[in-house]
Amino acid sequence: MRTKKNRRIFIWLPLGVAFAMMAISYLISNMSWTIGNEKTIISKFEYRRQHRRQQLPSEDTSALFINVSHDRQLVPYYDTVIGIAGTNPIVDRSKLLKLLQALEEDTSYRYVILDVLFDTVSHTPSDSALFSTIARMQRIVVPCDTAAKAIPLLQPKSGLAIYHTSLVETDFLKYPYLIGDSASMALHVYEELCQNRTLRRYGPLYMDRWPAHRCVALTFDALPNHIYNLGAEILKDSLAPGEAGMGLIYDSVFKEKCVRDKYVVIGSFEGDDMHNTYLGMLPGPVINYNAALTLLRGGHMVNPWVAVLMFLLYYVICLTIFNSWTLTGKLLDNKYAPIRVLGIILTLINYSVWLSAFCIFAYVRFDVICDVYIIASLFALIEVVTRIVKIVLKKKKE
């Protein structure tokens, strides 16, 4: 029989451990790199989500996607020792300037995501006018590798466009909104469109009027409907299906049908800026656009329903561990070492299965991706340690 003191311990100890595991889960979710194999797992989650909703990610009609991959100009490439060392193909900045000047005149667009990296070694006659236009424009963001490498005139409009990988997971999965104190492109969009809203760090906690995540595994709910080229000669009056790949001229039809109240997403939709995701290869501009939409719909905020359900699950698991209610835990008490090893393996599998089921539910129901495999390992470790401590205490009493 347990004493009153022991009963209090076995009630409050699981509560404290469950809170600690919640804190660890939050810290893990804010890591900008992945543990491994998450992309394969999430692709299976996505299949179940699509099966439940009976639909694929929607083709987005609220944005104008402009491809700059085919509009290139050659500029001299300079070496610090020998001078001109050849030529480098870059985005045709004169054509890009014409597009941005047309957008600056109208300003009916919702936001311009200009996913074109401007380096400091390539120079063209259009640079001065182009950079000045970008600096004057409202609601526009451009990428940079680091805040220090941004072109000075464009620094107020610049955001980071990088993500981290691990040795195990080399493909894209998580989008970091903050890297150190530097904001990403998507966070710039969010801050400019939602006045007085931003993501800030307070020690290990990230806040946006409510606890939030620094990194989010995107669900890619908006994919391109049509992708237009930057430098063709004509634009037909009707934008019917099947016109993907045609070019743009900047007249009243362009402004009314293509730009008004839309996001203008400019960048390379093929070539070097393609990234392997759980939906297959996706262009960098599409990733940045979906990251911004995730922020705008509050996808970076800690979901209170998921947090409550996760805490209840953790608390139940802790109760079963500290009160010796688990079936696999019985194997850990066996005097034969092979059976104890089997118990450890089955304990880890047991928690992985339960937490994986919770992951699928959270993704399908709330569009939230949870990292729980480290948590499953920690629960298995806690159960093994708890069993060892109980065995030692029992032997001492005897």
Measured distance CA(187)–CA(291) in Å, rounded: 8
Specify whether 13 is located in the same domain as 73: no
Query: Within 10 A of 339 (CB to CB), how many other CB atoms are there?
Result: 13
Predicted confidence (pLDDT) per residue in 180-218, tens digit: 888 999 999 999 999 888 888 898 899 998 999 998 878
* Mean pLDDT score across all residues of the chain: 78
Specify whether 288 is located in the same domain as 383: no
Q: What sign has the CA pseudo-torsion 93, 96, 102, 107?
A: negative
What percentage of the chain carries pLDDT values higher than 70? 71
- Write down which residue in 262, 296, 330 finishes a domain: 296
Of 42-46, 125-129, 236-240, where does mean pLDDT reach its minimum?
236-240
Specify whether 289 is located in the same domain as 254: yes
Instruction: Examine residue 230 and state whether it is found in any structural domain, yes or no.
Output: yes
Specify whether 153 is located in the same domain as 266: yes
Best CA proximity match to 380, nearest among 334, 338, 343: 343
Best CA proximity match to 270, nearest among 71, 26, 28: 71
Q: Is the pLDDT of residue 116 over 60?
A: yes
Measured distance CA(170)–CA(363) in Å, rounded: 22
Predicted confidence (pLDDT) per residue in 346-392, tens digit: 777 778 888 888 887 887 788 777 777 788 888 888 888 887 777 67
Number of structural domains (the chain) is 2
Specify whether 282 is located in the same domain as 236: yes
383: containing domain: 4-30+303-397
Q: Which amino acid is at 60?
A: D
Specify whether 253 is located in the same domain as 384: no
Specify whether 260 is located in the same domain as 316: no
Specify whether 77 is located in the same domain as 112: yes
Specify whether 142 is located in the same domain as 23: no
Q: Is the pLDDT of residue 86 over 90?
A: no
pLDDT at 234: 38
131 or 79, greater pLDDT:
131
Residues 125-140 have a mean pLDDT of 91
DSSP helix/strand/coil, 235 = coil
pLDDT at 291: 92
